Structure 1
Amino acid sequence: MTHRSSMVRTAIAITAIGALFSLAGCSGSQGATELDPEADVTITWWTGQSDEAQKLLEGMAGEFEELHPNVTIDISPGASSTEELLQKLSAGFAGSSYPNISYAFGAWASELESSQRTLDITEQVADPEVAWDEFSEAARATVQPTGEAIIGFPALVDNISLIYNKTVFDAAGVDYPTEEWTWAEFRDAAKKLTNPANETYGYAYSVSGSEETTWQFWPHLWQNGGEILSEDQSTAAFASEEGVEALEFLRQMAVDDKSIYLDQTDTKFAQLFAADRIGMMTSGPWQLWDLGVAGTDYGVTMLPGTDGDHQTVSGPDIWALFDTQDVNENYWSVELMKWLTASEQDLRWNVAYGNLPLRASEIDTPEFQEQVAALPGLDIMAQNNENATNARPTVSGYVGLSEAVGNAISQVLQGQGTPEEALKAAAEKADRSLSGD
């Protein structure tokens, strides 16, 4: 697992794999049909992790086994990389041999549910002791991809916040951003921070056309009142008046103000920020360690807002649960994930590993504050999960939609075409992807 999460790694051929899912019925050998919590049971858990992260989870699996001697946990990464888990799962569905629990990128959630193999845990998480509402709205929505069944627990949460370079701000004599900033104030500061003489830019934006390009656009769209998809999730809705207005704002900064460094690589902008050549970037917790190593003097705050709306975008990953037709296995799969995602354990898993805490209740704990001391700004990013109120679509056509939107944004920011024309053309491509063409 990397701190970059699945936000910028959704370009996996899930559409083709969806065909395999549709062929997989619910056949398979029948296990226990009456619950006996004391019965011996083996749970297969694919973690999608490696190295230190895998060792942490193996240790926690051992703890759970000590607490429940009748439970044996067969824990493994599941595949040589997290990206390969989806294909391995689909093959397992076809052969009626699949794990009880698997790590999964949030982008896969709809595909997993359509396999008809997932376990619906809606009733179990309604238990007040689970404290389901402590997870961010985006995380809860991701594990409930169609708005009906809840197919797992949040595994990792993150978001993008505004990171600013204090050295660049001080040199330009510009006041630091605040939590009340508007996008107009953001644009004004970016112009003041831009200095062609020493090739310093106020802001940076990816024009690679990847998901890095696309997901940075969603907060602008949402804050303007726009939506990515129609209500039934069958057609694109981003080429709206709100979408055009959002892209026009970025176009003005890039083309008219020339205050944005346009990054073709997705990675160079962070290096330039660390080297005091860029004043602001919108990014997530995965950047903080590198900034600390570089000795960059930085600060973190919420994204600028529109009419007081400061919502951000999040890329939650999940622990997907699967129905193995054995009620004892299903019971202990849920119990294991309830235990793992409880605050006490999450502090020793996500927080200890340097990720954001899954639950808002962990922010004030000594364990998390210790991480904040090592990674300043991590606490602001954790608080910013409250602004993660929308989830990116998990429909199979999202990959094609993302590519279409990313290319449209890239063209417009480089002075090619208008936002209205570019988004209209992107919507037509997206609709073809969403319909399976």
Structure 2
Amino acid sequence: MTINFWHGQGDTAVLVIEDLVADFERSHPNIKVDTGGGVLSDAMLQKVLAALAAGSYPDVAYIFGSDLANIARSPKVVDMGDTIAGTNYWKPVRDAVMINGQVRAAPALVDSLAVVCNKTVFSAAGVDLPKENWRWDDFVSTAKALTNVDTGTFGTGWPGAGDEDTVWRLWPLVWDAGGDVIGSNGRGIGFADAGVEALEVVRDLARDKSVYIDPKSGSEQMYQVYNSGRMGMVVTGPWQLPDILDAGVDYEVVPLPSFNGKPVTISGPDTWTVFDNGAARVEAARTFVSWLIQPEQDVRWALGAGSLPLSQESESSPEWSQYAAETPGLKVFATALESARVRPVHPAYPDISQALATAITSVLLGKSTPEEAMRTCADEADAALRIPR
């Protein structure tokens, strides 16, 4: 029995996946896993949708958590209710695979956002490192103090390509300000007011010229600026720590600021989604995915992908504990999962995200006030939520 596995990984992560697949095949000689198809994860949604339309689709695919609702509308998506039973997964992990009370995928990866501070830049500017329970006003003032036009040093950075990378950094501010992505009645956004407060932070960073705006998808330029010692703070996740370490940056990780002192961050769990190519292949795909997310394999995958353990059981393993002890700041990201929230698994989310991305970039570039940007965002996002699905 051969199943097709579109894993979506590149660089170091693909080597880990191939090693895991080889181990699975050795322990399950009746199942072969073909890893030759698919595309990188950023393009996976369109690839899978096209494959479903053509009637030739994989058995397992790596689907972003924010895309699951769109994919799960297909009757070919297999319910995975039994795969997360009995394991102490983090709440964001469970939330990311649930749609209307049903488990529509298996968790693949989890991460969180925090602030990574370049201690050398802080020292050169004579600025103290942030403490826990700091506020967004502190973030803005610290970024301004770290900015140095003469040396080309920025206080912080923000992805400005107008995609999900631009957007998901704002959701913790929205939640912290009392908003939600979708309103309680489901027919309008829940952040018309909170979004203004969140965008005021973006406005202040842009006003102070303390934020490096990366115009390209992937944020590579932003991280290059940070790793070269010309940025004091970057909001990022654990996946970036290996590159920061390789660059020789002397850094410290601190939790995200807040408006009111209550910790909140965002987690971006992604999924292994299983598709129905007949009962025998579904059984084989379920067997593979269930094996892949067990703590032993989960820890290997988390170490290779630069993510966090899916469960508290995985986090307590000796392998993860040793890695966390050897990687400064990693525990801050793991602890943040206790207060993390996830984006809703909703078919209108991509439209909401695009409307907010436009609002953020317009404020970053000084083209709109927070109030103006949110009015336009609300009009577009509310219209998307009213579309019958």
Q: TM-score, normalised by structure 2?
A: 0.87
Please name the residue that 2:75 is paired with.
116
What is the number of equivalent residue pairs in this alignment?
386
Please name the residue that 1:176 is paired with.
129
Please name the residue that 1:74 is paired with.
33
Judged with a 3 Å threshold, the aligned counterparts in structure 2 of structure 1 residues 212 and 59 are, in CA distance, closer, same or farther, namely closer
CA distance in 1, matches of 2:14, 2:231: 36
Please name the residue that 1:405 is paired with.
356
CA distance in 1, matches of 2:19, 2:149: 53
CA contact (8 A) 1:207 1:213 kept: yes
Pairing 1:118-137 to 2, within 5 Å after superposition: 118-122=77-81, 124-125=82-83, 127-128=85-86, 131=87, 133-134=88-89, 136-137=90-91
1:60 maps to 2:20: yes
Q: CA RMSD in A?
A: 2.9
CA distance in 1, matches of 2:85, 2:335: 25
1:156 maps to 2:115: no
CA distance in 2, matches of 1:397, 1:157: 22
Judged with a 3 Å threshold, the aligned counterparts in structure 2 of structure 1 residues 333 and 291 are, in CA distance, closer, same or farther, namely same
CA distance in 2, matches of 1:72, 1:316: 27
Deviations 1:62-117 (A, max 9, x none): 43344445x31332242243445444533443455443322222232111211012
In the TM superposition, residue 379 of structure 1 has moved relative to its aligned partner by 2.9
Pairing 1:14-413 to 2, within 5 Å after superposition: 42-49=2-9, 53-69=13-29, 71-94=30-53, 96-122=55-81, 124-125=82-83, 127-128=85-86, 131=87, 133-134=88-89, 136-144=90-98, 146-231=99-184, 233-239=186-192, 241-255=193-207, 257-265=208-216, 266-326=219-279, 329-372=281-324, 375-389=327-341, 391-413=342-364
In the TM superposition, residue 279 of structure 1 has moved relative to its aligned partner by 1.6
Q: SS at the partner of 1:212?
A: helix
CA distance in 2, matches of 1:115, 1:232: 25
- Stretches of structure 1 that go unaligned for 5 or more consecutive residues are 1-40
CA distance in 2, matches of 1:260, 1:87: 32
1:421 maps to 2:381: no
> Who wins on radius of gyration, i.e. which is larger?
1
CA contact (8 A) 2:31 2:284 kept: no
CA contact (8 A) 1:412 1:419 kept: yes
AA at the equivalent of 1:89: V
Q: SS at the partner of 1:208?
A: coil
Judged with a 3 Å threshold, the aligned counterparts in structure 2 of structure 1 residues 100 and 205 are, in CA distance, closer, same or farther, namely closer
In the TM superposition, residue 232 of structure 1 has moved relative to its aligned partner by 5.3
Judged with a 3 Å threshold, the aligned counterparts in structure 2 of structure 1 residues 278 and 378 are, in CA distance, closer, same or farther, namely same
Judged with a 3 Å threshold, the aligned counterparts in structure 2 of structure 1 residues 66 and 432 are, in CA distance, closer, same or farther, namely same
Judged with a 3 Å threshold, the aligned counterparts in structure 2 of structure 1 residues 89 and 207 are, in CA distance, closer, same or farther, namely closer
Judged with a 3 Å threshold, the aligned counterparts in structure 2 of structure 1 residues 78 and 112 are, in CA distance, closer, same or farther, namely same
AA at the equivalent of 1:165: N
- Stretches of structure 2 that go unaligned for 5 or more consecutive residues are none
CA distance in 1, matches of 2:170, 2:45: 27
Q: SS at the partner of 1:154?
A: strand
CA distance in 2, matches of 1:61, 1:75: 9
AA at the equivalent of 1:138: P
Judged with a 3 Å threshold, the aligned counterparts in structure 2 of structure 1 residues 425 and 309 are, in CA distance, closer, same or farther, namely same
CA contact (8 A) 1:360 1:382 kept: no
CA contact (8 A) 2:136 2:258 kept: yes
